[in-house]
Amino acid sequence: MTQPIPVRRRLTIAACGLALAALSSLPASADSDVIRVFMDHARILKLDRTVSKVIIGNAGVADVTVSDPRTIVLTGKSYGTTNLVILDQEGDAIVDERILVSVDEANTLRVFKQTTRSVYSCSPSCEEHTPGQAPTP
């Protein structure tokens, strides 16, 4: 025989349903101000103006190099978020965006064992991720 759900729990489930409905109604562009890059991958940013200064909030999460006066190479170093500010010759911001570094989901394997989780990067062979450390190729 199934147990009835207590009234308090019914309200919680209903509130979660409303919250999910509200989140799904957000415009898709709400996340467009985030530059996404995979860990241990590079992303090229072409700019319309000459770069004078490049600032990265947390160099442990992402690295930036200037390839030429209008091209930036952004490399994901470890999981997390940071910000990127690029200034032109006049000191005006060309780019002022959040950076999200994540794992390439297509090449990962997750193993759940009770309360522990292991994540493996499998490209071409599987190597376990250590929290805060990039996997070895």
- Please, what sign has the CA dihedral across residues 31, 105, 78, 85? negative
Walking along the chain (137 residues) 10 residues at a time, the average pLDDT comes out as 45 39 39 82 93 94 94 92 95 94 77 83 71 45
Domain architecture of the chain: domains with CATH: 31-102 (2.60.40.1080), 104-137 (no CATH)
Which pLDDT score is estimated for 45?
94
Contact residues for 96 (Cβ-Cβ < 8 A; gap 6+)? 83, 84, 85, 86
Which pLDDT score is estimated for 61?
94
